[in-house]
Amino acid sequence: MRHINFKRVIAAMATVATSLACSVATGQEKVKMGLFIASSAMPYFIAKERGYFAAENLDVEGIPLATHPLIVQGLVKGDLDAASNLLSLEGANINALRPNTLQYFSLNCQNVKHQVEAYVVPASNTSIKTLADLKGKRIMSAPGPGNLFVAKGVLKAAGLDEKDYSMQEQQMSVHMGALQGGQFDAAYTLEPIVSMMVAQGIGRKLEGGLIAKYMLGRPDACAVLAGGAMSVKFMRERPQVAERLARAWAKALNDGNNDPKARDLLSKHMNTAAAVAPTVPLSYYSMIKDLKPAEIADFQNLVDQATANGLVKSKIDVKTMLKTY
């Protein structure tokens, strides 16, 4: 018969009791947040590293997931409470299918000034000079239906039909190796991978800030491709925790927009060389209360295009997806 060490059991119980008592005393709450590892996830790392979550007595666990559909699945099932940078088109689609599944409490604007996405070609290929030159090429895209949609939408606006090229989605972790190894002639990829490819001489940026220019028609448009989101279930059941999360998030967004040193976290969390991190462009982050009417209109425009192409299954008013804190 196995001997039970009652002293250890009692000690363990005391430790758990102390932990629970401290948690109750401080008001600390556990929050599970899905992360898609790209520069658009920076607010999470800023809030975590700079103590903004801790200041609100929050223990926010970031859970990296390879695609946005997996993040949506986690929010629907209740495995996740929030997401740092959920693709807006995936969020629109799940809300069209299941109204009131999630709401965005912040949005990221990307454009020619605040670049996140770009088409990159091998540095050794000097014959590809414009997007039109991608005709007949093998292209890889950032993963997920939403990324594929905008990658193809940009090329369509540049005059290419889907029959003019081949495109496959690939996990972000393989983009650099796949372009360097010659498996693809071009990549629709995201920061900080874009800057890392260029810095290492693997790739040459063909053009960035694509969605605003080609799909919204203005280089300075607010292309909302991602944002911070919470499940409606979480917001209803734990409203005070959601408010505290939003307060911490707002501080992180301010740093992301205004403190160049925030980019140093790219080195720690996204394998970006210290010399490259300061050069990586970031999207412009806004809490919902700070959005301008024109920015919301740009968001609606992009979602409407996705609806017309069948990615978002039915018409949706993006204002129903926004939560102000």
Helix (H) or strand (E) holding 148: helix 145-157
- Kindly tell me if the per-residue pLDDT of 193 is higher than 70: yes
Q: Give dist(CA 287, CA 230) in Å, integer.
A: 13
Q: What is the pLDDT of residue 27?
A: 66
Q: In what order do the strands lie in the sheet with 186-190?
A: 166-169, 138-141, 186-190, 117-122, 203-208
Q: What is the pLDDT of residue 28?
A: 86
Over the stretch 51-85, which tens digit does the pLDDT of each residue have?
999 999 999 999 999 999 999 999 999 999 999 99
pLDDT more than 90, % of the chain = 91
* Beta pairing, strands 166-169 & 138-141: parallel
Domain ranges in the chain? 26-112+222-321, 117-208
Provide the CA 139 distance to its chain's centre, in angstroms: 21
CATH superfamily, region 26-112+222-321: Periplasmic binding protein-like II (3.40.190.10)
- CB contact at 8 A, 15 and 21: no
Over the stretch 200-237, which tens digit does the pLDDT of each residue have?
999 999 999 999 999 999 999 999 999 999 999 999 99
Q: Give dist(CA 141, CA 117) in Å, integer.
A: 10
> Which of 231, 259, 243, 237 has the alpha carbon at shortest distance from 56?
243
**99 cis-preceded (ω within 30 degrees of 0):** no
91 backbone dihedrals φ, ψ, rounded to 5°: -65, -40
- What secondary structure does DSSP assign to 159-223, as a single string? T--GGGSEEEE--GGGHHHHHHTTS-SEEEEETTHHHHHHHTTSEEEEEE-HIIIIISS-TTS-E
Instruction: Name the band, by pLDDT with cuts 50, 70 and 90, for residue 13.
Output: very low
Q: Give dist(CA 267, CA 136) in Å, integer.
A: 36
- Kindly tell me if the per-residue pLDDT of 49 is higher than 70: yes
Q: What is the CA radius of gyration of the chain?
A: 21
Burial 238-272 (b: 16+ CB within 10 A, else e): beebbebbbbbbbbbbbbbeeeeebbebbbebbeb
Instruction: Name the band, by pLDDT with cuts 50, 70 and 90, for residue 14.
Output: very low
* Beta pairing, strands 29-35 & 166-169: unpaired
Question: What's the full length of the chain, in residues?
Answer: 325
Which residues are paired to 35 by β-bridges?
A: 64
pLDDT averaged over the chain?
93
- Kindly tell me if the per-residue pLDDT of 45 is higher than 80: yes
Q: What is the pLDDT of residue 18?
A: 38
Fold match flag (26-112+222-321 vs 117-208): yes
Q: Give dist(CA 173, CA 116) in Å, integer.
A: 16
* Number of CB atoms found within 10 A of residue 11's CB: 11
Q: What is the pLDDT of residue 4?
A: 38
DSSP SS3 for 322: strand
The amino acid at residue 288 is I
- CB contact at 8 A, 244 and 56: yes
> Which top CATH class is 117-208?
alpha beta
Q: Give dist(CA 168, CA 188) in Å, integer.
A: 10
Residue 11 or residue 243, greater confidence: 243
Mean pLDDT of 130-146: 97
Mean pLDDT of 273-288: 97
- 169, burial (CB in 10 Å: exposed 0-12, middle 13-18, buried 19+): middle
Give this prediction's pTM. Answer: 0.89
Instruction: Name the band, by pLDDT with cuts 50, 70 and 90, for residue 26.
Output: low
pLDDT more than 70, % of the chain = 92
